[in-house]
Amino acid sequence: MKWGLIGASTIAKEWMIDAIRSIGDEVSAVVSASESRAEDFAKHNDIKKFGTSVEELLLDPEIQAVYISTQNHLHKEQSLKAIRAGKHVLCEKPLALNVADAAGMVSAAEKAGVVFATNHHLRNAESHKALRRAVQGGVIGKPVAARVFHAVSLPPHLQGWRVADSENGGGVILDITVHDTDTLRFILNDDPVEVTAFTQVGELSVNGVADSVMGVIRFKSGLLAQFHDSFTAKYSETGIEIIGTEGTLVARNVMTQQPKGEVVLINSEGSRKLILEHVNLYETGVRDFSEAVAGRSQPAASGLDGLWSLATGIAVVEAARTCKATPVVIR
Ligand code: NDP
């Protein structure tokens, strides 16, 4: 399959171009808002066609799918254009800046009969798949609580719009909390109902944008999930824990782009490591997307999954703003 890239982004350069090529697909064009950035990006990444017009890219009959990785406020319009042009769309999270827009994108794709997926890479990790298998297999009894540790140190080359531009989707919540939500939904097979949260404006923040957040998500089953997301934690370790009536699963170094980390089961028999055979998270996502386009499966994370993670992120933003428990609403 031939892909067009909408966005000359870091994530495309660092992970997604290789992922697309790894499954035998082709990256045939890239669009940037700047001609020189487009040309430079195309040259450095060996992409034949480049330009500044999304419309032109979408007119290319060879291109079947687009990967959208522009800044967050652009995802909605670019996705809708691509969907209307009959292209399959793999869109970065957050899908949009509000729930109504994301819901509109999901229903537009349904009507057009194209695959619309969200690039929530963490559910492609062997660690999270192992957690899901264990939880869904009843290994820890009834899951009652979860803890997500997703405090990282944002690398200098990413300290731009993410920490400065809340109007256009910057801030830690739409960047990281949405990933936590998707990962929890995937492992627990459960949906968020309401949230509470407090944010911090720390050393990386510009214009008061939140660069750390702590909060609690209540799920339909009654499970409470505590999360800590940050751009400013230089010496922290990531992880996720699922606490059940018959055991606890402790995963360390798993909230990451890298295929790594470990999962330990603790129960009445003691503790043991689960066997993991790590694979590239982005390659797995692209392969699933390609299979979905071929009609053989579903994408790893659908548009609806992206809608849920965004709705939860929006509720967390609101809860932090109002200091009140806030419902998660997807319509
Ligand atoms: P970048 O800042 O690298 O890229 C985003 C956009 O910024 C690009 O599309 C580009 O616009 C513009 N840009 C890049 N360099 C410059 C520059 N020098 N001057 C002006 N504009 C520039 O962001 P990321 O790659 O980190 O993130 C892109 C998207 O991917 C976001 O939505 C983010 O949430 C998501 N993401 C997802 C991850 C995942 O694992 N699923 C991980 C990281 C990010 P143009 O295209 O017009 O050139």
CATH of the domain at 79: 3.40.50.720
pLDDT, tens digit, 9 for 90 and up, residues 289-314: 999 999 999 999 999 999 999 999 99
Dist. CA 264 → ligand 1 center (Å): 35
From 6, 10, 182, the mutation candidate for ligand 1 (largest count of ligand atoms within 8 A of CB) is 10
52 CA: nearest ligand 1 atom: 47
Q: Using a 6 Å cutoff on CB, does residue 78 contact ligand 1?
A: no
Q: Using a 6 Å cutoff on CB, does residue 119 contact ligand 1?
A: yes
What is the pLDDT at residue 331? 81
Q: Is 266 exposed, middle or buried (0-12, 13-18, 19+ CB in 10 A)?
A: middle
CATH number of the domain at 192, please: 3.30.360.10
- Mean pLDDT in the chain? 97
Confidence of residue 76 (pLDDT cuts 50, 70, 90): very high
Dist. CA 119 → ligand 1 center (Å): 13
pLDDT, tens digit, 9 for 90 and up, residues 220-257: 999 999 999 999 999 999 999 999 999 999 999 999 99
* pLDDT above 90: residue 127: yes
CA distance 251 to 243: 11
Q: Which domain holds residue 198?
A: 123-279+309-327
* Domain count for the chain: 2
From 47, 71, 286, 305, the mutation candidate for ligand 1 (largest count of ligand atoms within 8 A of CB) is 71
> What type of residue sits at position 210?
A
Q: Quick check: pTM over 0.85? A: yes
pLDDT, tens digit, 9 for 90 and up, residues 256-285: 999 999 999 999 999 999 999 999 999 999
- In a shared domain, residues 104 and 138: no
What is the pLDDT at residue 165? 84
- In a shared domain, residues 165 and 270: yes
Return the DSSP state at 211.
-
What is the pLDDT at residue 166? 80
